Amino acid sequence: MNMLIAKGMDWGWSEMLWTALISICLVFFMLVLLVLIMQGFGYVVSRRNAVAPPSAATKAQTQLHEEEIAAIATALKMYRGDLHDRESEVLTIMSIKRAYSPWNSKIHGLTQMPDRK
Amino acid sequence: MWTLLNSGSGFVWDSLRDFAGSTGIAGLFASMGWGNVAMICVAFLLLYLAIKHKFEPLLLLTIAFGMLLTNLPDANLYHTSLFEGGHVHWDIFVANAGLLDYLYLGVKLGIYPCLIFVGVGAMTDFGPLIANPKSFLLGAAAQIGIFVTFLGAFALGFTPNEAGSIGIIGGADGPTAIYLTSMLAPELLGPIAVAAYSYMALVPVIQPPIMRALTSKKERAIRMRTLRPVSKLERILFPIMITVIIALLLPSATPLVGCLMLGNLMKECGVVDRLSKTVQNELMNIVVIFLGLTVGATATAEAFLNFRTLGILLLGVIAFAMGTAGGVLLAKLMNLFSKEGSKINPLIGSAGVSAVPMAARVSQIEGQKEDPGNYLLMHAMGPNVAGVVGSAVAAGILLSFLG
């Protein structure tokens, strides 16, 4: 097909239909091949896992019942819910240098002298 | 003094006229005509959709802005003449190229889509696909839309290369569509990218009616068996195996599939967390900016405002619809040969059109409408990621036939 284009031949419906048909078949062929390979691979891995003796960690994990897991989860939740944020308990007053503020203004803070006329 | 000023009035007038002639407003009326003004309006519309309605904003926003930049007069950021005939004119490139011309080289040379695929691979969990390899079949069936549209585009008068590029919209995979189009029909890059990303954003609108029309209430309520756990060894070997197999069988798909699997291996092996995080975030984001801007820049008035663009938009919807239908119908067909208890909910078939993870979410939502306790998301992720591999394979096949 590629060569047809290279030779400058016009494509008709026949070439297009064949290209579409071959392409979809190739897509299926590739992905079916991947299905088979992955199924075979999965089978080998699952058999390997079945043959291998369970490790201590796996044993410990499988020995836990649902109730025990639920109890541990509840205990953790209650423990974390009880915790409070600890603050530093140190109070600081930050001095801010500002030219003018209503808070330090003497005009607003002191009784003004009456005008003499 | 007056005489001196009077003698220079001609100079002042000429200078002002030259300045006025060099402004963008003059360029707007002189060289562009209504076409570019219309394209600027299209860019505004896309910006609105991306910002207001969050239609694939990461890409649509940059694409729209690239579109705006390229259609503004005399900006000289992008020159179609440097890429005419489908190849880079290196002899005049350095002398004439603008910023977007340099950035566009990443699209033209097929660099950006592959780099994005590294990031996509690092973000993808292939576990559901490894646990249920039959999902690959649904991913394959959903690619039917590509080839039906390939024929439909040819019927509308597009060349075989253009038809292949339009068909790949049905793969619902932006980087793959851009990669294939930049190789086969670069002149259609703008409309195809806009169509692909717009329709991907519209997956929740396009797919559900087709899914409901092709399935019964009973089928939509099928509960699937829980997937088996997948070991770390399987997760690590999967990307290596897929890369080797695809490279041996279909070398033209290796750049995309290889990069996808490289990213996935980085994620699954667990020893290069820094690299995995980089490709998922920094690299991905940088490349998305470059890709969006430059793809948008190709949407000039001459390339975009014609009946061919309307044809591409129409064929894009058909491609999506056919892909969705293909996946659902194959799932139904597989059920005919499946035992009771191992049947597939046909709704997950539609997820085979890629559009990760939107299409899988649509399957989940549609399934829960029938049975609120039915969780299809993980089952749908299998065909969903299989669709990414499937569309890359389909692109490789089209490239080997037409490229």
B329-347 pLDDT, tens digit per residue, is 999 999 999 888 889 999 9
Please report the pLDDT score of residue A84 as a whole number.
66
Nearest one of B184, B190, B195 to B158, comparing CA atoms: B184
**Which of A23, A26, A37 lies closest to B245 in CB terms?**
A37
Report chain A residues whose CB lies below 8 A from the CB of B400.
2
CB contact under 8 A, B136 and A1: no
Q: Tell me whether A11 touches chain B (CB under 8 Å).
A: yes
- At residue B362, the 3 state secondary structure works out as helix
Cα gap B328→B387, rounded to integer Å: 13
The chain A residue lying nearest B393, using CA atoms, is A27
Q: Of A5, A21, A7, A15, give the one whose Cα is nearest residue B402.
A: A5
Residue range B320-329: average pLDDT?
95
Q: Once rounded to an integer, what is the mean pLDDT over residues B371-395?
A: 93
**pLDDT, averaged across chain B:** 90
- pLDDT for A86 equals 64
Check: CB of residue B178 under 8 Å from CB of residue B295. Answer: yes
pLDDT by residue (tens digit) across A26-52?
999 999 999 999 999 888 888 887 776
Count CB-CB contacts under 10 A for residue B277. 14
Residues 6+ apart with CB under 8 A from B388: B120, B124, B139, B173, B260, B354, B356
pLDDT tens string A57-67: 555 555 667 77
Evaluate if residue A7 carries a pLDDT over 50.
Answer: no
Exposure b/e, B30-48, CB count within 10 A at least 16 = b: eebeeebeebbebbeebbe
Residue B360 amino acid letter: A
Which range is least confidently modeled, B43-47, B100-104, B228-232?
A: B228-232
Residues A71-111: pLDDT tens digits? 888 888 877 776 666 666 777 777 666 666 666 666 666 66
Residue with more model confidence, B193 or A52: B193
Residue A5 and residue B140: Cβ atoms within 8 Å? no
Question: What part of B 64-93 touches A (C-beta under 8 Å)?
Answer: none
Q: Using CA atoms, how far apart are residues B192 and B176, in angstroms rounded to an integer?
A: 11
Please give the Cα distance from B322 to B311 (Å, whole number). 16
Res B22 pLDDT > 80:
no
Give A-chain residues touching B231 at CB under 8 angstroms. Answer: 45, 49
Query: How much is the pLDDT for B118?
Result: 96
pLDDT at A101: 66
* A45:B234 CB<8 A: yes
Subunit contact A1:B401, Cβ cutoff 8 A = yes
Contact indicator for B83, B182 with CB cutoff of 8 Å: no
Could you tell me if B245 and A33 are in contact, meaning their C-beta atoms sit under 8 angstroms apart? Answer: yes
CA B376 to centroid of chain Cα atoms: 25
pLDDT in tens, B197-249: 888 888 999 999 999 999 999 999 999 988 888 999 999 999 999 999 999 99
Instruction: Please state the rounded mean pLDDT for residues B29-51.
Output: 84
Q: What is the pLDDT of residues B118-132, one digit of tens each?
A: 999 999 999 999 999
pLDDT tens per residue across span B236-282: 999 999 999 999 999 999 999 999 999 999 999 999 999 999 999 99
CB B78 within 8 A of CB B298: yes
Q: How many CB atoms lie within 10 A of CB A83?
A: 7
DSSP B213-225: HHS-HHHHTPPPP
DSSP class per residue in B270-304: SS-HHHHHHIIIIIHHHHHHHHHHHHHHT--HHHH
pTM, 2 dp? 0.78
Among B73, B77, B74, B103, which residue's Cα sits nearest to residue B88?
B103
- As a whole number of angstroms, the distance between CA B302 and CA B239 comes to 42
Which CA distances in Å does B193 have to A100, B56, B62, B290, B394?
Answer: 59, 12, 12, 14, 17
Q: Cβ separation of A41 and B143 shorter than 8 Å?
A: no
46-85 of A, contacting B, C-beta below 8 A = 46, 49
Amino acid letter at A1? Answer: M
Reference B206, options B333, B42, B328, B309; nearest CA is B328
Chain B residue with CA closest to A38: the answer is B133
Task: Copy the structure tokens of residue B126.
Answer: 């292939």
Q: What is residue A45's predicted lDDT score, i.e. its pLDDT?
A: 84
Q: What is the pLDDT of residue A56?
A: 57
**Closest Cα in chain B to A39:** B133
Euclidean distance between CA atoms B194 and B192, whole angstroms: 5
pLDDT of residue A103: 67
Determine contact, residues B347/B215, Cβ cutoff 8 Å.
Answer: yes
Cα–Cα dist B206/B203, whole Å = 5
Q: How many CB pairs under 8 A join A and B?
A: 96
Higher pLDDT, A23 or A85: A23
Phi and psi angles of residue A14, each rounded to the nearest 5 degrees, phi first: -60, -50
Question: Does the pLDDT of residue B136 top 50, yes or no?
Answer: yes
Vertex B347: Cα angle to A24 and B129 (nearest 5): 65
Q: What is the pLDDT of residue B147?
A: 95
The pLDDT value given to residue A59: 54
Whole-number pLDDT of residue A8: 44
Q: How far is A29 from chain B (nearest CA, A)?
A: 9
Does B33 or B87 have the greater pLDDT score? B87
Q: What is the ipTM of this complex?
A: 0.84
| B154 pLDDT higher than 80 | yes
Give the pLDDT score at B190: 86
How far is residue B358's CA from residue B354's CA, in Å, rounded to a whole number? 8
For residue A23, give the nearest of B133, B249, B394 by CB distance: B394
Give mean pLDDT, residues B365-389: 92
Cα separation, A52 vs B220, in Å, equals 40
Distance from C-alpha of B179 to C-alpha of B116, rounded to nearest angstrom = 11
Tell me which chain B residue has its CA closest to the CA of residue A32.
Answer: B137
Note whether B249 contacts A: Cβ–Cβ < 8 A: yes
Nearest to B319 by CA among B139, B138, B148, B184: B148
A6 pLDDT band (50/70/90 cuts)? Answer: very low
The predicted structure's pLDDT at residue A1: 47
CA proximity to B211, closest of B74, B361, B3: B361
Of B147, B159, B237, the CB nearest to A20: B147
Contact A43, B130 (CB under 8 A): no
Least confident of A43-47, A101-105, B111-115, B172-176: A101-105
B240 touches chain A (CB under 8 A): no
Given CA atoms B321, B398, B383, B361 in this order, what sign does their dihedral have?
negative
